[in-house]
Structure 1
Amino acid sequence: MSNRLGVNSQVLALALARMTESVGNSFLIVVLPLFIGSELVSGNTFGLTEVAVTGVVLSLFGFVNSPLQPFTGRLSDRTGRRKIFVLAGLLLIGVASFSYSLASAYWHLVGLRVLQGVAGALIIPTTVALVNDLASESNRGGNMGTYNTFRLVGFGVGPIAAGAVVSAGPYTVGLRGTQIQFSGFDAAFYFATLTASVSFFLILSLIRDPDKIETDAAADEADAGALDGFSVLDRSGRGFLDPVFTLGVVSFFMAVGIALFATLGDIINTRLDQGPTLFGLQFAAFVLAQIFLQVPIGRATDFYGRKVFIVAGTVLLVPTTLVQGVIYDPWLMFAARFAQGVAGAMVFAPALALAGDLAPDGKSGSTLSVLTMAFGFGVAFGPLAAGFLVSFGFVVPFAFGASLAALGVVLVWTQVEEAMTPRRSLFSAD
């Protein structure tokens, strides 16, 4: 059932649940580096510096969940069940979040981050596939935009609140006449556990698997290949590369470009003569643009088509990424990051919607996992690339990201065709 905006009510419930989980899970982006740098964690660092261990711990989530996503997406297609995968992932997220409060060695953090990566592989492709299953061609863009907007709100709020929660500790709670004290780190981990639990019960009580998946899955039972929906070359002969694979490559390029910024915080602050507050605002500018624009752009693709927005977004990614390497003013950097967020909003949700249009019946999990996997790899690869390339000059990482975006323009323009019939022309007068 859809509301007046054309957004399915279950998609709204799913988006709310993902937003809740994202608030707590994104706490860890800020809390884990602080936790690693505290005296509460010790032991073998595997021959790495503390900073290097922090980078490994943060990157593990993406490097673990991304290659697993096609398998979990495909498995959800074959079983005809999405909900159970999401619930299992949320359960693992909650267990891992609570277990951080018991961790005292670096290998504990590595193990828990791997566990969260597995949880992400269970949640990410199946929730996106659920949105696709619950939507139709006429409103898929709006539903994808709504889902991504809620998720990004949670992702943006978490890091802002995390530092305050940690610094305000220790906390004292009275329980039946007994005073219980716990640190700010424990409070953050308990909060992440709580948000995962709330999301679990929202999914359990409000979400159901669409009936149509069951029939499609039954018809597909004889199909045993975990990655049979994945193809690099276009089997139809209309182009050279498979359009879904192409959209995945472009999603990877976009993710690399937006993730370059995070690693260079200290260098950027020195270069722009600014403090961490302004860097935080610049980092958040991308997310803000996504929050404001995902829904209207997604709905616009339902009327005007998907490809024109993806092409325009990848074109805009080129200058908005490159200019970050030559800016010396903090507010111009904020503007560049916001404009890069506009470009990102024009690429990712429309690309998911287009991949959903192209997905065969009963195979949206494996089809859409190509994009979510590629995006996850890009987010993990971008910071590592920036740390290596910046040694050749500050502009080099951003020039690299801009070059990838330019290649993405060519790929989308030549290898991707519109899968729906636009109801209006973007260039007409009406």
Structure 2
Amino acid sequence: MVGLLRRLLAAFSVDRRVLALAFARMADGVGNSFLIIVIPLYVGSEVVGGRTFGLEEAVIIGTILSLYGFLNSSAQPFTGRFSDRTGKRRAFILVGLVGLTITNLAYVLADTYAELLVIRGLQGVSVAFIVPTSIALVNELATTRDRGGNMGVYNTFRLIGFGAGPVAAGAVVSLGPYTLSLTTLEVTLSGFDAAFYVAAITAAISALMVTLLVSDPEATKANAGDDLSIAIRDPTGRHLLDPVFTLGIATLFLAASIALFATIQPQINARLEQGATWFGLQFAGFVIAQVLLQTPIGRACDRYGRRPFIVAGMIFLVPTTLVQGYVLTSEAMFLARLLQGVAGAMVFAPSLALAGDLAGEGESGTKLSILTMAFGFGIALGPFASGALVAYGFRVPFIFGAVISAVGAVLVITQVEETLEL
């Protein structure tokens, strides 16, 4: 492990703690994204029963999955701010990872809808301890000249983990049950139990890596105030909106635009006359572009400035979102999703770097949580919007996505200034 880290440090030219944190987030990303596939299957299985509260099974699945996102995103400004006050980023990350480990194991014992709802809600709160504080830690371990590159490396490994989880999850469930022989003792695990144990193990590995390899920077100080509010107006008076708040709105619109795709799989497959395999490839197209481009774009924004990449990415998001409502072949849809991923990559790391540049001492958790919270709400808004709008026509959800992307581009152009001295 040490030798591998040294080779990767040389390749990526980042702080050892940033790379270790990136690897830890990759590991917990595998386990957490596992559950996106496993939970709907588990809820629909004969294992789970109990009161349905008068809801259909599909509604229960949606509620369980969306509760995680809602609690996760809502709690992030508070956990980010509290970590500013204490200056203990690493401790907050470990609390979240331990919480994930315990709740992943709890699924093995859950057999009612109410229990699943409680467990998934607690997972959302656990992840809220991890996301803003890990981003804040990366920000504080970086300097103005390498902040974009550090954010890019961190996001690259996190996305690799998030993308790998769903690929393996279905196989782990379908290949069960598993029989383990321990001397004279023989243990049988169902596919679901095996998946939950895998998710718990990856979270535990992440916690171990953070414990051994990550530490808070010496300069981190607990000097944030008691005010938990988010600045909306620009305190300098040069613009109407605070630049970090503006980036949060742009991130919300970006995340919603990319998430439109998920809900309308039946309509997309019917229109393009394709199966689930093509849809999976198209869904993965965005992630592929992110993994390939996050690090180089992050490094490029350290040289050429943050704002040009963010503006170009938001503008490019408009046609790459709109065209998805008009393409007529599976190959064209894959290309559109890939190019949409390019647009996203041009926005993500530079936005985090610019917000990090603007964060004062002891403010990283609060400032950067605005972007991470906005992304989470956008991922929740997109599927809801596409599910509601597709009834008015296949193209309508993508037209909606293009419009809000254009609004985001205008906001960035008019409200955000460059922070890097070129």
Question: How far does the alpha carbon of each residue in 1:344-395 deviate from its partner, in whole angstroms, 9 at most, with x for none?
Answer: 0001111000000011111100000000000011011111111111111111
Q: For 1:403, what is the secondary structure of its paired residue?
A: helix
Which residue in 2 is equivalent to 1:205? 212
The residue identity in structure 1 corresponding to 2:228 is A
Deviation at 1:176, TM superposition (A): 2.4
Tell me which of 182, 187, 195 is aligned to 1:175: 182
1:305 equivalent to 2:305? Answer yes
Deviation at 1:60, TM superposition (A): 1.4
| CA distance in structure 1 between the aligned counterparts of 2:209 and 2:328, rounded to whole angstroms | 46
| CA distance in structure 1 between the aligned counterparts of 2:52 and 2:344, rounded to whole angstroms | 36
Over 3 Å counting, the alpha-carbon distance change for 1:4 and 1:186 in structure 2 is closer
| CA distance in structure 2 between the aligned counterparts of 1:49 and 1:271, rounded to whole angstroms | 27
Q: Give the stretch that moved more between structures: 51-60 or 341-350.
A: 51-60
Deviation at 1:4, TM superposition (A): 6.6
| CA distance in structure 2 between the aligned counterparts of 1:54 and 1:326, rounded to whole angstroms | 30
Tell me which of 185, 193, 196 is aligned to 2:200: 193
Which residue in 2 is equivalent to 1:236? 236
Question: How far does the alpha carbon of each residue in 1:80-105 deviate from its partner, in whole angstroms, 9 at most, with x for none?
Answer: 11001100000111111111111111
Q: Give the stretch that moved more between structures: 382-391 or 237-246.
A: 382-391
The residue identity in structure 1 corresponding to 2:115 is H
Q: Give the stretch that moved more between structures: 4-13 or 282-291.
A: 4-13
CA contact (8 A) 1:24 1:193 kept: yes
Equivalent pairs counted in the alignment come to 415
Which residue in 1 is equivalent to 2:400? 400
The residue identity in structure 2 corresponding to 1:172 is T
CA contact (8 A) 1:40 1:104 kept: yes
Deviation at 1:406, TM superposition (A): 0.2
CA contact (8 A) 2:12 2:153 kept: no
1:413 equivalent to 2:413? Answer yes
Which residue in 2 is equivalent to 1:107? 114
Structure 1 outlier segments of 4+, above 6 Å: none
1:126 equivalent to 2:128? Answer no
| CA distance in structure 2 between the aligned counterparts of 1:9 and 1:208, rounded to whole angstroms | 10
Q: Give the stretch that moved more between structures: 53-62 or 240-249.
A: 53-62
Q: For 2:188, what is the secondary structure of its paired residue?
A: strand
| CA distance in structure 1 between the aligned counterparts of 2:178 and 2:160, rounded to whole angstroms | 27
CA contact (8 A) 1:6 1:139 kept: no
Deviation at 1:226, TM superposition (A): 2.4
Question: How far does the alpha carbon of each residue in 1:206-251 deviate from its partner, in whole angstroms, 9 at most, with x for none?
Answer: 000001113xx2xx26x22223xx2111010110000000000000
Which residue in 2 is equivalent to 1:387? 387
Q: Give the stretch that moved more between structures: 74-83 or 175-184.
A: 175-184
**RMSD between superposed Cα atoms in Å:** 1.2
Q: Give the stretch that moved more between structures: 11-20 or 376-385.
A: 376-385
The residue identity in structure 2 corresponding to 1:224 is D
| CA distance in structure 1 between the aligned counterparts of 2:337 and 2:231, rounded to whole angstroms | 34
CA contact (8 A) 1:141 1:299 kept: yes
| CA distance in structure 2 between the aligned counterparts of 1:341 and 1:53, rounded to whole angstroms | 31
Q: For 2:238, what is the secondary structure of its paired residue?
A: coil
Q: Give the stretch that moved more between structures: 75-84 or 173-182.
A: 173-182
Q: For 1:172, what is the secondary structure of its paired residue?
A: strand
The residue identity in structure 1 corresponding to 2:320 is T
| CA distance in structure 2 between the aligned counterparts of 1:52 and 1:259, rounded to whole angstroms | 19
Tell me which of 35, 46, 60 is aligned to 1:39: 46
CA contact (8 A) 1:3 1:9 kept: no
Question: How far does the alpha carbon of each residue in 1:126-181 deviate from its partner, in whole angstroms, 9 at most, with x for none?
Answer: 00000000000000000000000000000000000000000000000011212111
The residue identity in structure 2 corresponding to 1:72 is T
1:256 equivalent to 2:256? Answer yes
Deviation at 1:3, TM superposition (A): 4.7
Percent of aligned pairs sharing the same letter: 58
| CA distance in structure 2 between the aligned counterparts of 1:59 and 1:287, rounded to whole angstroms | 21
Which residue in 2 is equivalent to 1:117? 124
Which residue in 1 is equivalent to 2:228? 226
| CA distance in structure 1 between the aligned counterparts of 2:251 and 2:15, rounded to whole angstroms | 25
Q: Please give the residue correspondences for 1:143-154 in structure 2 after superposition, counting only pairs within 5 Å.
A: 143-154=150-161
TM (normalized to structure 1)? Answer: 0.95
The residue identity in structure 2 corresponding to 1:406 is A
| CA distance in structure 2 between the aligned counterparts of 1:241 and 1:320, rounded to whole angstroms | 27
Gaps of 5+ in 2: 1-5
1:271 equivalent to 2:287? Answer no
Q: For 2:103, what is the secondary structure of its paired residue?
A: helix
TM (normalized to structure 2)? Answer: 0.97
Deviation at 1:52, TM superposition (A): 1.2
Q: For 1:211, what is the secondary structure of its paired residue?
A: coil
Which residue in 2 is equivalent to 1:73? 80
Which residue in 1 is equivalent to 2:34? 27
| CA distance in structure 2 between the aligned counterparts of 1:5 and 1:118, rounded to whole angstroms | 32
Deviation at 1:402, TM superposition (A): 0.7
Tell me which of 179, 191, 196 is aligned to 1:184: 191
Which residue in 1 is equivalent to 2:3? none
| CA distance in structure 2 between the aligned counterparts of 1:45 and 1:329, rounded to whole angstroms | 40
CA contact (8 A) 2:253 2:405 kept: yes
Gaps of 5+ in 1: 423-430
CA contact (8 A) 1:313 1:345 kept: yes
Over 3 Å counting, the alpha-carbon distance change for 1:4 and 1:16 in structure 2 is closer
The residue identity in structure 1 corresponding to 2:227 is G
| CA distance in structure 2 between the aligned counterparts of 1:251 and 1:351, rounded to whole angstroms | 8
